[in-house]
Chains A and B, each alone.
Chain A
Amino acid sequence: MAKVIIYPTNSLILSDMVERFGHEPLAMMEKIKEIINTVGVDSPPLNITPEGPKHGLKYAAVEVPAGVRGRMSLIGPMIDLAEAGIIVGDSSFSFGCMGCARTNELTKFLIREKDIPLLEIQYPHTEEEGQDFVYKIAEFLKSLPSGSDEK
């Protein structure tokens, strides 16, 4: 089983596919669930406090806007853990939406920077492209080590 970072990081479809092929998706939903359940922190809606952007300094310099660094405080640690990655380019909002273009650029850059198996694929617009899209992702996921001991 490999830890697979997905982009867009909140894509339910991608997350589900990774899981179906026996791997662990590194996705925003899980991360958000984790922080909103943090006992003792009450900063709705996402429970991100001013500490978040400070933690984001590990991934982006201080002159980068607080919103980018706050997002990177969630996404950055996931990239650190990633053993493989899937980046879907030009996807529609319904497939997953990251909100901030600067965060998107940095996220994709940091994933590409890592020496991990990576699939970069464009979002499909026709049925034929859709089938090819699913096939390529499936083949990529099948190619990843299936057991944690095989890493």
Chain B
Amino acid sequence: MSDKGDPVLVALVSCGSEYAGVQSELEKAASMLNAKLVYPEMDVATLDTIGMEFGLEVASPDLRLMMARAKAVVEGVAKVDGVFVTSCFRCAEAAIVRNELRRYIFEKSGLPVISYSFTERTTAATLLTRLEALTTIARRKHLLARMNQTGITAGIDSGSTTTKAVVMKDNEIVGEGWVPTIKVLESAETALQQALDQAGLKREDIQAIGTTGYGRFLVGEHFKADLVQEEITVNSKGAVFLADKQKGPATVIDIGGMDNKAISVQDGIPGMFTMGGICAGASGRFLEMTAKRLGVEITDLGDLAIKGMGENVEMNSYCIVFGIQSLVNSLAKGSSPEDVAAAACHSVVEQIFEQQLQEVEVKEPLILVGGSSLIAGVPKALGDLLKIDVIVPPHSQLIGAVGAALLASGYVSE
């Protein structure tokens, strides 16, 4: 996982991490990626004036310290490759500062920035994917700039719910496989074999393999992959490739089986991004539960939702337990399955809107990917909510595997 060579320098712009017991977890995640957390130096006198200078007067001195450090990054006083802005979960004052600093740093410096709000339970494993994406953007920009797939390559996306594989040849998908994730390696083997069979190729024909998703390390080691990469950069690449929007700005929303991601992309490279994962109510799992309760296949839920009116159903919670309970109560009161299916789709996208899209500037085109994008009610609900056209590219459930195969082809050329 760790890249050799010079460490990536990541400015830690934080408030309270050393008091919340998570500092060592931050350091641990960074060291796993050959990254080094640095603390931008600034003149202490700046702390008296930074509030007015930045235009945000806050009571907490540590938040003023964050602003002063952000300014040091933007002005180039601190030479860094990326920035990690973090503060305590549930602190309203810090949330305002964190969001504004993230925007300020990204817009003024162009550096990749991630932000995260921690609790004492935040572990290195939770931070790893986010930091890995940050270091990848800083370290492998040349690889991420790749727009065409060359040679014969395979990509495997070992997701939490399903494992996807594609075989690509000369910039085209020639084979694909999609199986539920049961045993990680066996599922990956099956998915890849499906893709190879469809392509009419053998394992030895593959010139390079890329892996991504939750099981990327295990699967990558098993297949001796050339590229083992977190899903934020890989999925962005796959999304813009499949949507044919590789140049210019784009916003990618990926609703997976267990989490979701909102990524602001420029020329195929992620800028700001957020990653959910605390609440299953904003994932495909919520839709699966709804389908199960309605007694329909998940693949039929979307068509059902298209015919329904979500606003006819009162939902009191986004929670996968209490939200589903609301749906069940509505059914008991006589709501139609169509309305309930539409309400479920609306609930998922509304939570993503409230929790993720507030932190990422939505720039068109908006590309919706991940397994949930195939449920027709989901893109419709998202489009209705944002009042913009939502693009669901072909093979939208395969973006991770396609992105991995595309990026892995960089190793064929090398």
Q: Which of A44, A54, A67, A97 contacts B16 (CB 8 A)?
A: A67
Near B by CB (< 8 A), chain A positions 55-75 give 63-71
The CA of A32 and the CA of B87, in the complex, are separated in Å by 21
In the complex, what residues of A have CB within 8 A of residue B48's CB?
A: 92-93
Q: Is the CB of B19 within 8 A of A46?
A: yes
Decide if B62 is an interface residue (CB 8 Å cutoff).
Answer: yes
- A-B complex: 5 closest residue pairs judged by Cβ atoms: A67-B16, A65-B88, A101-B59, A70-B19, A66-B20
In the complex, what residues of B have CB within 8 A of residue A98's CB?
A: 61
Q: Which of B24, B44, B58 contacts A43 (CB 8 A)?
A: B24
A49 and B21 in contact (CB under 8 A), knowing A66-B89, A66-B120, A93-B47?
yes
Chain A binder among B90-98, B199-207, B361-369: B90-98
The CA of A15 and the CA of B8, in the complex, are separated in Å by 41
The CA of A52 and the CA of B22, in the complex, are separated in Å by 10
The CA of A63 and the CA of B91, in the complex, are separated in Å by 9
Q: Is the CB of A52 within 8 A of B19?
A: yes
Decide if A40 is an interface residue (CB 8 Å cutoff).
Answer: no
Decide if B140 is an interface residue (CB 8 Å cutoff).
Answer: no
Decide if A150 is an interface residue (CB 8 Å cutoff).
Answer: no
CB distance from B262 to the nearest CB of A (A): 24
A-B contact pairs, 17 of them (CB 8 A): A43-B21, A46-B19, A52-B120, A65-B20, A65-B89, A66-B22, A66-B120, A67-B20, A67-B91, A68-B91, A70-B21, A99-B15, A99-B60, A99-B62, A99-B65, A100-B62, A102-B93
Write out, one digit per residue, whether chain A residues 78-102 have a CB within 8 A of any chain B CB (1) or not (0). 0000000000000011000111111
Q: Is the CB of B58 within 8 A of A101?
A: yes
The CA of A92 and the CA of B61, in the complex, are separated in Å by 10
We find that the number of chain B residues with CB closer than 8 angstroms to chain A is 31
The CA of A68 and the CA of B90, in the complex, are separated in Å by 11
Decide if B23 is an interface residue (CB 8 Å cutoff).
Answer: yes
We find that the number of chain A residues with CB closer than 8 angstroms to chain B is 30
Residues of A within 8 A of B (CB): 42-46, 48-54, 63-71, 92-93, 97-102, 104
Decide if B119 is an interface residue (CB 8 Å cutoff).
Answer: yes
Residues of B within 8 A of A (CB): 15-24, 27, 44, 47-48, 58-62, 65, 87-91, 93-94, 118-121
In the complex, what residues of B have CB within 8 A of residue A49's CB?
A: 21, 24
Beyond contacts A70-B19, A100-B60: 15 other A-B pairs, Cβ-Cβ < 8 A, are A44-B23, A45-B23, A46-B19, A48-B20, A48-B23, A49-B24, A52-B120, A65-B89, A66-B22, A66-B119, A67-B20, A68-B91, A70-B20, A71-B19, A101-B61
Nearest to B15 among chain A residues (CB) is: A67
A50 and B60 in contact (CB under 8 A), knowing A65-B16, A65-B94, A66-B88?
no
In the complex, what residues of A have CB within 8 A of residue B16's CB?
A: 65-68, 70-71, 99-100
Q: Is the CB of B88 within 8 A of A48?
A: no
Q: Which of B24, B27, B61, B90 contacts A97 (CB 8 A)?
A: B61
Q: Is the CB of A66 within 8 A of B61?
A: no
Nearest to B60 among chain A residues (CB) is: A101
Q: Which of B27, B60, B118 contacts A66 (CB 8 A)?
A: B118
In the complex, what residues of B have CB within 8 A of residue A104's CB?
A: 59
